[in-house]
A and B are shown apart, each in its own frame.
Chain A
Amino acid sequence: EAQVTQNPRYLITVTGKKLTVTCSQNMNHEYMSWYRQDPGLGLRQIYYSMNVEVTDKGDVPEGYKVSRKEKRNFPLILESPSPNQTSLYFCASSTRGTTNEKLFFGSGTQLSVL
């Protein structure tokens, strides 16, 4: 089954403790991206990747890192999480990242930073 898999689904951590949220897709998609969803703000893009070893900042990249060493994986790294990063995170992918493509989303990761 074609899907985008995120782990974990829920994560509670404390300020400053490094964490990684994993994202994997099995559709051989070149384009992958990370979004955060906050009440009243909708979805905002954090980082995106057009292909292996090609990443770029989205609209709200501060406090986040990403890497794209393999085509299927696009982990989101929070080196020193802070409470303002408490949010619902989504990973998404599409075939080549062109304007006409729909996005396939993961199930989301609810992160709470205490």
Chain B
Amino acid sequence: AQKVTQAQTEISVVEKEDVTLDCVYETRDTTYYLFWYKQPPSGELVFLIRRNSFDEQNEISGRYSWNFQKSTSSFNFTITASQVVDSAVYFCALSEARAGGSYIPTFGRGTSLIVHP
């Protein structure tokens, strides 16, 4: 079973629409971290946000906001008033401690967001 599920493969919106990208995760750890990364058409992945499992406070950064709910194991990402520059593939990732102290972050399959002018 997937540890990180991004059920939306592709979302297409028109500029200025709001859009929410879903992320559902699965873990038995009580301490873990969740991340969102953006992969624009240029290809390089860029870090957007990190949230630890003990901090359920929602976060807003400009047009971006994140809703973390442990009760539903979700960490959703909303873009308000989308712009063409938001077109990218967005990845949600889960980071858990593993035996030996090392970790391998698990990525979802990504959601491709296309914003039309």
Contact = CB atoms under 8 A, between A and B. Distances in A.
B107 A50 contact: no
A56 to B, nearest CB: 7
Interface in B96-112: 96-97, 102-105, 107-110
What interface size band does chain B fall in? 20 to 34
Contacts of A99: 31-33, 95-97, 103
A76 to B, nearest CB: 16
A56 B99 CA distance: 13
Interface stretch (A11-19, A20-28, A40-48, A62-70): A40-48
Interface residues of A, number: 26
Given A43-B107, A99-B95, A100-B50, A56 B44 contact: no
B109 A105 contact: no
A92 B33 CA distance: 17
Interface in A55-84: 56, 58-59
A45 B106 CA distance: 8
B35 interface: yes
Given A43-B45, A44-B107, 4 more contacts: A42-B107, A42-B109, A50-B102, A108-B44
Interface of A: 35, 40-45, 48, 50, 56, 58-59, 88, 90, 92, 97-100, 102-108
